[in-house]
Amino acid sequence: MTRFSKRKPDTVMVKDRKLICPVCDNDQFIETRAQMNTAVASLFDVDFANKTARCFVCSECTYVFWFRS
Ligand SMILES: [Zn+2]
């Protein structure tokens, strides 16, 4: 998780709406990309396996938003 700290947090727009953390109401997120591994793929469809996802990590509480890309 230490790699997240290298990026500066910023606001994120999704569908013309500002992303707000549901846990702490923060609007600053650190964008990262994650490879969907087999452990994660077991939670989703098979088509989801080995795809790349966009992730936004709340800079306050580290809640993670995942967006399939
Ligand atoms: Zn948060």
Domain span holding position 8: 2-68
The yes-or-no verdict on residue 1 having pLDDT over 60 is no
3 pLDDT higher than 60: no
30 Cα: distance to centroid of ligand 1 (angstroms): 11
Q: In degrees to the nearest 10, what's the CA dihedral of 30, 5, 8, 31? A: -20
Q: pTM score, two decimals?
A: 0.71
Show the DSSP H helices in the chain as ranges.
38-41
User: Number of structural domains, the chain?
Assistant: 1
Domain of residue 34, CATH code: 2.20.25
The CA distance from 63 to 51, in Å, is: 21
Q: Determine the distance separating the centroid of ligand 1 and the alpha carbon of 40, expressed in angstroms.
A: 22
Convert the pLDDT of each residue in 13-65 to its tens digit: 999 999 999 999 999 999 998 877 655 555 665 555 567 888 999 999 999 99
